[in-house]
Structure 1
Amino acid sequence: MSKIYLFLAIFFAAQLSHSQTIYKTINSTLLGEERQLKIQLPRNYDENSEKYYPVILVLDGDYLFEPFAGNVDYFSYWDDIPEAIVVGINQSRSRRADTFYNDIQYFPAKSGKNFFDFIGAELFPFLNRNYRTTNFNVIAGHDLTANFANFYLFKDNPLFQAYINLSPDLSPEMATRLYQALSDTRSDKWFYLATASNDVAELREYIKKLDYSLSTLENENLHYQFDDFEKPFHYSLVAHAIPRALEKIFEAYKPISLDEYEEIKAADASPYNYLTKKYNIIKNLYGLNIPVRLNDFLAVGKALEHKENWDDLEKLGKLAMEQDPDSMLGSYYIAKSLEETGKTKKAMRMYEGSYDKKEAAFITADFMIRKAELIKKEYGY
C-alpha cells in the first residue's frame, strides 16, 4: 500500500508542476549546438516581482526533471523548503559525450569539458539574466551525471553549494578527491549520497566505500547525508532519495518544529536570540531575506512566556509590528510584556487599541477585548 501512496504522491506532484513548466532552447557556442531546457518557476513567480530564488539544476533532465520539479513544488507549498527555480537539461542523446573524462587525469575532456564549461559560462549567465536567482545553486544527477556533477567541487569557487548524488558511477580518483575537497571546504557545502540494496552491485560497492570515507570527516562546514534504501533498484531509488536530499539541503530553512520548540524552551539562551539567528542563517546560507513566519513567531512567543522573559517578548512584539503593523500579533506581545511588568494601564490601552487590526492565530478581537476587560476589572480602570 505504501508503494501505491508513493506513486500517487509523485504522480500528482508531477501534475502540479507540469502546467508551470517552460520549455526553452539555448544556443551554445561551446557545444556548437542547441540544448533543450525544462524550467519550472515557482507558483506566483510573476506576482512576487521582488522575490529571488535558489536554482536547482537537474542533469538527465529528460527523466529526472519531473520528479524533482514535483517534489520541489510540493515541499515548498508547505514551506518545508524555499521556493526554487528548477532547471533540467535534456541529455537523452548526449549524456555519454557530456560526461566524458580522460583516462589519464580523470577530469572532463573534449565533449565533457565543453559541457562542463557550458553550464558555468553559458547556462547560468542565461538563467541569471532572465530569472530572479539567488547565489545558492544545487546540482543533481544519476550515475554518470551524478559523478560528473562532483567535478564542480574541485574549482576554487564552486558554482554549486549543494550536490545530490543518486547512485553515482564514480570515476577513478573521485572518492579520494571528494574526501579532500569536502575535508578542506571553508564554506558551507551540502553533499547527498544514495544507493539501495538492489542497486547495481559494482556501483553500490564503491558508493559504500565512499560513504565510509566521508562519514569520518569532521568539518562544520560540511552537511553530509547518506541513504542506503532497502529493496529499491537503481532507478526506483531516485523516488526515495529526492525528498530526503531536499529536506537535508534545506534543513535550516524549515519552520520551527515541535521538537525544536522543546529545545528552545529548555535552553539557557533566549528564544528571541534563537529566532534572529535562525533567520540570519537562512539569509547567509540560501541568500533568502524572508519575513519571520507566523509559526515561528508563535513558537518563540510561547517559549518566552514560559521563561517569563518579558523584555525579549517586547522585542518580539516590536519585530512583529515592524514586519506587519496591521496585525494584532505585535500588539499582543508588547501588551503582554507591559502587563507582566506592572504597566497595566499601558497594557490595557494596547489591547484596546488593536481591536481593528488583522487577527493572527489565537489572537482575535474577542481575545484582545477580554484581556483589556480583565485588567479593567482587576485594577478598577
Structure 2
Amino acid sequence: MKKNALLCILLMLCTYLSVAQVTSTTIESIKLAEKRNIKIYVPEDYSSDKTYPLVVVLDADYLFDITVGNAKFYAHKDKMPQCIILGIDQSQSRYEDCYYSPESGFPDKKGNAFFEFISMELIPMVAKNYHLANFKAIIGHGITANFTNYFLFKKSPLFNAYIALSPSFAPLMESKVPKRLSELDQMVFYYIATANEDESENQQRIQVFHNQIKGYNNNHLHYYYNNFDNADHYSVASFGIPIAFDQIFKVYKPISVKEYKEEILAHNGPVIEYLTDKYTTIETLFGFKKQVSLNDMMAIYAGAKKKEDLESIKELSKIAKDQYPNTMLGFFWEAEYLEHLGEPKKALRTYEKAFGMNEIDFATKDLALERMESLKADFGW
C-alpha cells in the first residue's frame, strides 16, 4: 500500500513538473518508516526523448538552491549537460541519517536505513518517472559528505561522481576511501574540498586523505582537490560546487585555448582521434550523442593544419557533412584536403559544391571563390 502511495505521489509530481522547474513534496519512506521532504529540479525544456544525468543533493535544505543555480548556469553555457537534481531535506535528521558504527565507521541503525532509502527507494522511483542517464552524482557537506563515500563500497558503486565538501570523516575513512578508490575498475570522478579556516579536525584528516590518495595509481579515477584561501567550513560549499562541476564535466565542455595548446597539439597520432575520443566518452558517460560543436571542430582543424595532418582534415570533412549538412564546411575541408593532396581538378569541383551551400564561420563564398580562382590561375584554366 505504501509503495503504491509513493508511486502515485511521484506520478503526480511528474505531471506538475511539466509546468514547474522545482517542486517540493513529502514522500513516505518504507525503509525509514517516516515521511521525508524532497525537492526535484527538472530542466524547463525537459523532453522524454532525451536522457538526463541525476545529481543527488544531501543537506538539500541549504545546498539545493546553490546546486541548481550552478547546474543551470553551466548547462546554459554548454559546460555540462542538463541534469535532474534531487534534494533530500535533512534539517531535522542529518545526524540520525548519517549514523555510523564507532567501531567500523560504516552506516549503522538509521544510517543503514537512510542508505537503503536513497539507493533502493528514492532513485528507482525517480528513474521510473524521468529518463535518467547512467551518470549519477552525489553532493554532501560535513557529515553528509562523509556519508556519500559509503556508496563507493557497493560492489558496483551507485554514483559516478562524488562531491565531498569538507567531509567530517567517520573513523579511518580518510584511509579506507583512498584505498577503495584505487581499486575501482570503472570510471569515477571524486572531488574533495577544504579551506584554510575549515574546522581543524576536518582540515587535518582531509590532508591525510589527499596525501594517501596521491600514493595510489588508478587510470579509472579522476581526482580533484581544493584547499581554499579565505574560506571556512560553510563557504567551502559556495566555492566548491561550481569548481567541482567545472572539473567533473570537463570532457563535456567546448575545447579551450589551454586544452588546444596542452593536449591537442601534444596528442600523439592524428588529432582527429582527440575529437572522436571526446565525443565517444560523452556518449558513454551521459547516454546520449552530443552534436559536435563548431568550436571543437575548429580547434581540431587548427591543430591539423599546424601539424600538417592531412588525414585529420579529411576525416573532419566527413564529420562536418554529417553534423552540419547544409553548410559549406564539409565540402570546403574536403576540397582543401584534395588541394594539398595534389588533386587540383577534384579540389576545384569540390570547392564548387561548397560554393552552392550555406556559409558558416570562416567558410564563406568569397573564400571559396578565391580558392577556385587561385587553382585556375595556377594551372592556366
Shared topology, TM-score over 0.5? yes
The one-letter code matched in structure 2 to 1:60 is D
**Alignment partner of 2:265: what SS?**
helix
1:364 and 1:34 mapped to 2: Cα distance?
Answer: 62
Quote the Cα distance in structure 1 between the aligned partners of 2:379 and 2:304.
25
Question: 1:169 Cα shift?
Answer: 1.0
CA deviation profile, 1:76-104 (whole Å, cap 9, x unmatched): 22222222222211111121221112333
Answer with 265-274 or 190-199: which moved more: 265-274
What is the CA–CA distance in structure 1 between the aligned matches of 2:133 and 2:221, rounded to whole Å?
21
Q: List aligned pairs for 1:131-150, cutoff 5 A.
A: 131-150=130-149
Answer yes or no: is 1:29 the counterpart of 2:30.
Answer: yes
> What is the match of residue 241 of structure 2?
242
Q: 1:369 to 1:144 in 2, by over 3 A?
A: same
Residue of structure 2 equivalent to 1:271: 271
Corresponding residue SS for 2:182: helix
Tell me which amino acid in the other structure corresponds to 2:29: S
Partners of 1:130 and 1:322 in 2: CA distance: 33
Show the 5 A alignment for 1:25-174: 25-46=26-47, 49-174=48-173
**Shift in CA distance, 359/128, structure 1 to aligned 2, threshold 3 Å:** farther
User: What does residue range 190-205 of structure 1 map to in structure 2 within 5 Å?
Assistant: 190-205=189-204
Matched residue SS, 2:354: coil
Aligned equivalents of 1:100 and 1:156: distance in 2? 22
Which amino acid in structure 1 is aligned with residue 255 of structure 2?
A: I
Aligned partner of residue 295 in structure 1, secondary structure: helix
What is the alpha-carbon distance in structure 1 between the residues aligned to residue 98 and residue 265 of structure 2?
50
Return the alpha-carbon distance in structure 1 between the equivalents of residues 377 and 317 of structure 2: 25
Partner of 2:326: 326
Q: Which moved more, 1:301-310 or 1:229-238?
A: 301-310
Shift of 1:285: 3.5
Name the structure 1 match of 2:216: 217
Alpha carbons 2:328, 2:354 under 8 Å: kept: yes
Tell me whether 151-160 or 109-118 shows the greater mean CA deviation: 109-118
Task: Letter of the 2:280 partner, please give it.
Answer: N
In 1: Cα distance, 2:190 partner to 2:342 partner: 52
* CA distance, structure 2, for counterparts of residue 267 and residue 324 of structure 1: 26
CA contact (8 A) 2:304 2:312 kept: yes
* Partner SS state of residue 354, structure 1: helix
Q: Distance in 2 between matches of 1:311 and 1:179?
A: 43
Between the aligned residues of both structures, percent identity stands at: 40
Task: Tell me the distance in 2 between the aligned counterparts of 1:371 and 1:39.
Answer: 55
Aligned to 1:291: 291
Could you say if the C-alpha distance between residues 203 and 307 of structure 1 is closer, same or farther in structure 2, counting changes exceeding 3 Å?
Answer: closer
The residue type paired with residue 116 of structure 1 is: F
- Cα separation, 1, equivalents of 2:50 and 2:255: 22
Matched position secondary structure for 1:195: strand
Cα offset for 1:143?
0.4
Q: C-alpha offsets along residues 87-136 of structure 1, whole Å, 9 cap, x if unaligned?
A: 21111112122111233333222221111101111111122111121111
Structure-2 residue corresponding to 1:343: 343
Tell me the distance in 2 between the aligned counterparts of 1:188 and 1:106. 25
Counterparts in 2 of 1:268 and 1:221: CA distance versus 1, 3 Å: closer
Give the Cα–Cα distance (whole angstroms) in 2 for the partners of residues 205 and 273 of structure 1. Answer: 42
Distance (Å, rounded) in 1 between the aligned partners of 2:66 and 2:133? 23
Offset from partner CA, 1:204-262 (integer Å, 9 cap, x none): 22222222222222222222112111121111121111112112212222222212222
**SS of match in other structure, 2:244:** helix
Pairwise CA distance, 1:43: 4.6
CA distance in 1, matches of 2:107, 2:333: 58
Number of equivalenced pairs: 361
Q: Which residue of 2 aligns with 1:14?
A: none
Q: Report deviation, 1:148.
A: 0.8
How far apart are 1:349 and its partner, in Å? Answer: 2.4
After TM superposition, the structure 1 stretch with the greater mean CA deviation from structure 2, 180-189 or 21-30, is 21-30
Q: Is the 8 A contact 2:179 2:213 kept in 1?
A: no
Change (3 A) 1:117 1:265: same
Gaps of 5+ in 1: 1-18
Partners of 1:143 and 1:76 in 2: how far apart? 27
Cα offset, 1:164, TM superposition: 0.8
Residue identity opposite 2:56 in structure 1: L
CA shift at 1:346, angstroms? 2.4
2:43 and 2:264 map into 1 onto residues whose CA distance is: 32
Mapped to 2, the partners of 1:143 and 1:21 lie a distance apart of 25
**Inter-partner Cα distance in structure 1 for 2:121 and 2:69:** 26
- CA pair 346-43 structure 1, distance change in 2 beyond 3 A: farther
Normalised TM-score (structure 1): 0.89
Aligned partner of residue 353 in structure 1, secondary structure: helix
Instruction: State the shift of 1:203 in Å.
Output: 1.9
RMSD value, Cα: 1.9
CA distance in 2, matches of 1:145, 1:219: 25
Q: Deviations over 1:298-338 (max 9, x none)?
A: 11112212233223311210121122311222111111111
Q: CA offset at residue 364 of structure 1?
A: 2.4
Q: 1:103 to 1:133 in 2, by over 3 A?
A: same
User: What is the identity, as a one-letter code, of the residue corresponding to 1:240?
Assistant: F
